[in-house]
Structure 1
Amino acid sequence: MHPESPVCRVLVVWGNAWLAGHVGLDEAADRVESAGGPTVVGEVPLREHLAVLRRDGLSELRLALPAPGDPLGLSGPPEFNAAAVEAGQAAIAVLSDRRLGLVPSPDRRGSSYAGVRLSVYEAGPVRHDLPSLAEAEQELSAAIRAATESLDSADGPMAGRPERLGAAGGDLAPGYPSRAHRVSALAARLATVLRLAGERGLTSGQVAVRDAALRELDRAVRRALLASCHAILEPSPDRS
């Protein structure tokens, strides 16, 4: 699955909103399928699988947005980590007695069917060293300032200014705090900036400066997206 696909973010956001009672199962599943097309878990339709997981004690969904050398949100085992890093994303279903990792891949059948297949793996314990929403927002602001200073003089990709770009993939579900909506929208715009930067390519004189700036910005964007998707799970003092 291309890392730019929002399918796991949408699954975590709308799945947690469903578990918290803010939306129904049908709406949550519809949102996931609007992001990636018809979705199956193994061979089971997504709606049916989520319903079964809830009967088995599903309490929350967690997001992983790993990159090579930065397994953000992952805690093993190696088979799940490797699949998630290759996909650039994963969702983790937290049940009462175990955790299941869901890793997306394209599901194409014939010439007209295009959807998403989620493969299921055993997953490790929930990580508690991930950034809170407040921490991720501070990190993102600092990374934006640093990247802007580094790239503006070189007419880099930040010259497009993220506030003028759309925020595709940044929408959250009902029940999320306003700060999470703000951070998610900004992180989604910056993800677009990073994608455009890669498409434009780098001149030889800009490689070192841009590579370092964009690497740090990419890390901050992924951490902000992950924190905003988990904000509905945070204690109330951080949900401003």
Structure 2
Amino acid sequence: MRIDSPVSATLVSWGNSWLAGHTGLDDAVDRLEAAAGPQVAAADTAADGGECTLRAFLADRRIEGLCALRLALPAPGDPLGLTGPPAFNGIAIDAGQAVIAVLPGRCLGLVPAADRRGSSYSGVRWTVHEASAAPPDLPSLAEAERALTIAMRAATDALLAVAGPAQGLPPAARGEGDAEAMLAPGYPGRAHRVGVLAARLALALRLADERGLTAGQMAVRGKALRDLDRAVRRARVAAHHAIIQV
């Protein structure tokens, strides 16, 4: 399950909406399960406890003082949203995503993985790890939006300058998947706008095609898409944090 799966973003969006009082816990988990199937949470070691439903896990953490959920969308060499410890960072980077639950004096990191049991059960299993309580260094929503606009223009110019059958951004950058990208109730309008644009571009990055290009053309194209990917991930994180400042 990689960054192109919206499961961590969906949990952060609807979980923060619940924590801010804009929706109920049942509505938040129902939305997540409608998108990705049954959800369970389990500690990273058996000694720390057994498996429970994500609904029960969130309710228990709320009693403990859970105040916010942060989104991490890391990539190799760019641990976006992570502040440690190294073992947790490595697991989250391998998954391409994680959710950080902010509690009084500590944080817990949740990393999703596909959960298949038999021929008919398909859901998500969130492994829970201890995470650093240090806040990550992240851009504001306004900063992330400006950087995304600049990166999108630069990538478009670079791709259009590359001769060959793959030119410009794919049509997915112009509107597919908007329903999936919508944030939960309570988010400001600017966050909705940035989140939708970032999700479109994330889809376009997945669909980009290198067939028919020379090695030199692929190098130019690869640099443009890497820069755009970095801006997209920062914009998605900033949009999902806009409802709660942590």
TM-score of the pair, normalised by structure 1: 0.93
Measured at CA, do residues 126 and 61 of structure 1 come closer, stay the same or move farther in structure 2, by a change above 3 Å?
farther
The Cα shift of 1:113 comes to 0.5
Q: 1:138 aligns to what?
A: 146
2:206 pairs with 1:195? yes
The match for 1:56 among 47, 50, 64 is 64
One of 74, 85, 89 as aligned partner of 1:66: 74
| Equivalence for 1:172 | 183
Q: Which residue of 1 aligns with 2:231?
A: 220
**Offset of residue 166 of structure 1:** 3.2
Between the aligned partners of 1:50 and 1:136, the Cα distance in structure 2 is 29
Q: 1:1-240 to 2 correspondence within 5 Å? A: 1-42=1-42, 43-154=51-162, 155-158=166-169, 160=171, 162-167=173-178, 169-197=180-208, 201=211, 203-204=213-214, 205-234=216-245
Which secondary structure state, in structure 1, belongs to the residue aligned with residue 29 of structure 2?
Answer: helix
Q: Secondary structure at the match of 2:128?
A: strand
Say if 1:168 and 1:188, in contact at 8 Å, map to a contact too.
no
Kindly indicate whether the alpha-carbon contact (under 8 Å) linking 1:5 and 1:36 is maintained by their aligned counterparts in 2: no
Shift of 1:169: 3.3
Task: Structure 1: give runs of 5+ residues left out of the alignment.
Answer: 236-240
Letter in 1 for 2:23: V
CA distance in 2, matches of 1:28, 1:160: 31
Quick one: distance in 2 between partners of 1:131 and 1:209? 27
Task: Describe the superposition over 1:66-92 as per-residue Cα deviations: whole angstroms up to 9, x where unpaired.
Answer: 001100000000111011001000000
- Give the count of matched residue pairs: 234
Query: What letter corresponds to residue 93 of structure 2 in structure 1?
Result: V
Report how far residue 150 of structure 1 moved: 0.3
Aligned counterparts of 1:201 and 1:101: Cα–Cα separation in 2: 39
Q: State how far apart, in whole Å, the 1-side matches of 2:213 and 2:58 are.
A: 47
Task: Tell me, in whole angstroms, the C-alpha distance in 2 between the residues paired with 1:157 and 1:149.
Answer: 8
Q: Distance in 1 between matches of 2:185 and 2:100?
A: 20
What is the aligned-residue identity percentage?
Answer: 59
TM-score, with normalisation over the residues of structure 2? 0.91
SS of residue paired to 1:99: strand
State whether residues 157 and 193 of structure 1, in contact with CA within 8 Å, keep that contact through their aligned partners in structure 2. no
Superposed CA RMSD: 1.6
Deviation at 1:234, TM superposition (A): 3.7
CA contact (8 A) 2:72 2:98 kept: yes
Counterpart amino acid of residue 160 in structure 2: D
Shift in Å, 1:152: 1.3
**Counterpart-to-counterpart distance in 1, 2:14 and 2:170:** 33
Q: Indicate conservation of the 8 Å contact 1:171/1:181, yes or no.
A: yes
CA contact (8 A) 2:3 2:96 kept: yes
The aligned amino acid for 1:211 is: G
Unaligned runs of 5+ in 2: 43-50
Q: Contact 2:172 / 2:200 at 8 angstroms: preserved in 1?
A: no
Instruction: Report if aligned partners of 2:81, 2:136 keep a CA contact under 8 Å in 1.
Output: no
Q: Shift of residue 211 of structure 1?
A: 0.4
Secondary structure of the structure 2 residue equivalent to 1:120 = strand
